[in-house]
Amino acid sequence: MTGPRTLAACAALMLAPATSVGASEFGDVARGAEFWKQCRTCHRIGPNASNKVGPNLNFIFGRVFGVAEGYRYSKAMTAAGEEGRVWDLDQLDAYITDPRGFLKGTKMTFKGIKDPQERADVLAWLRENSDNPSDIPEAEPTAVGTDHSVDAAILAIAGDPEYGEYLSSECLTCHRADGEVDGIPSVIGWPDEDFVVAMHAYKDKVRPHPVMQMMAGRLSNEEIASLAAYFSALGQ
């Protein structure tokens, strides 16, 4: 449930013209916290939040598009920021309804949330936490694994970027070297650990995509580490 602080913070936002029905209603923070677990696969929030597969979401309300420091955005997101577009409740609501419909070329491959109540819930949670990152319940948001647990010994393997470069040529038949997104996600510039965890999730058939399960299934732990090393450096 929303506390007084949140209500105060929202007053300013509500002055913005409401163009979306979903965005004008307050959601349930507790339900939103549950949903946030999906977002956390790629996004972090909090005092130590770093950019992961997606940018950190600290101070997202009122933030200009495409400005999280050190994050490599799609051309589309950067261009929108240069136009001066700002994330408000309506913009965020429209974005998470259908990310690629809202901003063609975005790297966010999340399919979107069709249910207005679910969107309202997760935005309520985000609003509750974004502008006051020190209040976030998780003490170490960046230290938590993503969506799959991988043995520490595997995460510790140092990859050979030269080997990764050769192996990467297989990936680049579909994934683009320039990081642009068009129906197939970007794999450029991910933190090494997130890359390794995601690939092992495919290898262990926890993530569902059949092509990626097949591709990851034949890669050794060292090969995955080498790919992670190569692709993360490519994003620098």
For binding to other proteins (CB under 8 A), which residues are involved?
Answer: 162-163, 165-167, 169-170, 172-178, 180-184, 210-211, 213-215, 217-218
Tokens of 127: 């609003």
Give the separation between CA 95 and CA 104, rounded to whole angstroms: 11
Please say which residue, 96 or 167, places its beta carbon nearer to other proteins. 167
Closer of 135 and 162 to other proteins (Cβ): 162
Helix (H, G, I), strand (E, B) or coil at 42: coil
Place of tokens 């003490």: 139
Query: Given its phi and psi angles, is residue 211 left (phi above 0), alpha (psi -120 to 50 degrees) or beta?
Result: alpha
* Minimum CB distance to other proteins smaller for 105 or for 116: 105
In whole angstroms, the minimum distance from the beta carbon of 96 to other proteins comes to 18
Smallest gap from Cβ 209 to other proteins, in A, equals 9
Closest CA to 233 of 195, 185, 200: 195
Helix ranges restricted to H, 88-156 = 89-97, 99-102, 116-130, 152-155
Q: How many residues in total does the chain contain?
A: 236
* CB nearer to other proteins: pick between 131 and 165: 165
| Least distance (Å) between residue 154 CB and other proteins | 20
Q: How far is the CB of 202 from other proteins (least distance, A)?
A: 12
Q: With the CA atoms of 224, 229, 233 and 234 taken in that order, what torsion angle do they form, in degrees rounded to the nearest 10?
A: -30
CB of 167 to other proteins, least distance (A): 7
Nearest partner of 51 among 66, 36, 62, judged by Cα: 66
